[in-house]
């Protein structure tokens, strides 16, 4: 950049900032840091540096459809309540970071107490090794009372962040959504409201047609799929493994006469 004339440099800098501030969708490529895992060091309270932007409506949940690259819908509603964020590669982890929780705090005079956000979308933009593209709601929530808009006008801010266990209200169990297009030979399931680690690294199923567990494949976001050589016969049990290696079984959670585009509540939770 040293060969640029001052005016040209200013124009380029302004263009870069304009591309990163509020209102544009998650996009881009970048050089990420190391994956944030559930190793003891990441739950120990150690803060790491990051940068953040925001997108969507100032008081919105990010995407216009209140969804995102994890496939989770209605993130504007509780328990997410708009406190959502895109994550770059070490946070989103090609979808296996969906649902994980982070505590963030910014360093400006407008900033208040730390807040917690859920990873529900992706942004691989070249902003920092660790990059949160927050919903307008989540970005503004970092501010002291009455300074939400003032903080949002900053556009890009420096953060400290740390991974924290996800906590849900008592009685909120893990939920499975059978995705549109599923049929006896293809089953796609979205999993959400996973406490503690927040994310799933493996799912397996067992139906009435087989006594053995069959591994499911990670499809995209928080969605796992099974491609069958024979028709599935319900009810279907689902086994999930979180990032810490803990396993739970939702026995017969998908009933015999299951339907696509349907939510099935479990009685399990980490």
pLDDT means per 10 residues in the chain (270 residues)?
33 34 42 80 85 94 93 96 96 95 95 96 92 97 95 93 95 97 97 96 93 95 95 95 96 96 97
Of 46, 146, 156, the closest CA to residue 108 belongs to 156
Give residue 139's pLDDT: 97
Give residue 125's pLDDT: 83
Omega of the bond leading into 235 within 30 degrees of 0 (cis): yes
Q: How far is CA 186 from CA 131, 143, 229, 252, 253, in A?
A: 35, 46, 9, 18, 17
pTM: 0.84
Give residue 1's pLDDT: 33
**Contacts (Cβ under 8 Å, ≥6 apart) of 257:** 234
HSE of 161 in the Cβ direction (CA atoms, 13 Å)? 28
Give residue 86's pLDDT: 97
Give residue 40's pLDDT: 67
Give residue 10's pLDDT: 35
């Amino acid at each position: 950049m040293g060969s640029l004339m001052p005016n040209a440099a200013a124009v380029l800098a302004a263009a870069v900032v304009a591309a990163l501030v509020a209102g544009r969708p998650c996009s881009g490529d970048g050089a990420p840091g190391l994956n944030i895992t559930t190793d003891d060091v990441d739950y120990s309270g150690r803060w790491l540096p990051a940068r953040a932007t925001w997108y969507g409506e100032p008081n919105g949940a990010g995407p216009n459809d209140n969804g995102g690259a994890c496939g989770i819908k209605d993130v504007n509603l509780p328990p997410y309540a708009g406190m959502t964020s895109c994550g770059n590669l070490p946070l989103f982890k090609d979808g296996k970071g969906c649902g994980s929780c982070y505590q963030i705090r910014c360093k400006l005079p407008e900033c208040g107490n730390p807040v917690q956000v859920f990873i529900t979308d992706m942004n691989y933009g070249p902003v920092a090794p660790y990059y949160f593209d927050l919903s307008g709601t989540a970005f503004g929530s970092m501010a002291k009372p009455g300074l939400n808009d003032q903080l949002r006008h900053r556009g890009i801010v420096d953060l400290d962040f740390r991974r924290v266990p996800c906590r849900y209200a008592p009685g909120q169990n893990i939920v499975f959504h059978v995705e549109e297009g599923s049929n006896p030979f293809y089953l796609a399931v979205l999993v959400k409201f996973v406490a503690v680690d927040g994310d799933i690294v493996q799912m397996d199923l067992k139906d009435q047609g087989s006594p053995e567990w069959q591994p499911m494949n990670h499809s995209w976001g928080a969605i796992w799929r099974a491609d069958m050589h024979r028709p599935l016969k319900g009810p279907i049990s689902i086994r999930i493994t979180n990032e810490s290696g803990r396993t739970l079984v939702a026995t017969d959670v998908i009933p015999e006469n299951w339907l696509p585009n349907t939510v099935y509540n479990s009685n399990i939770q980490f």
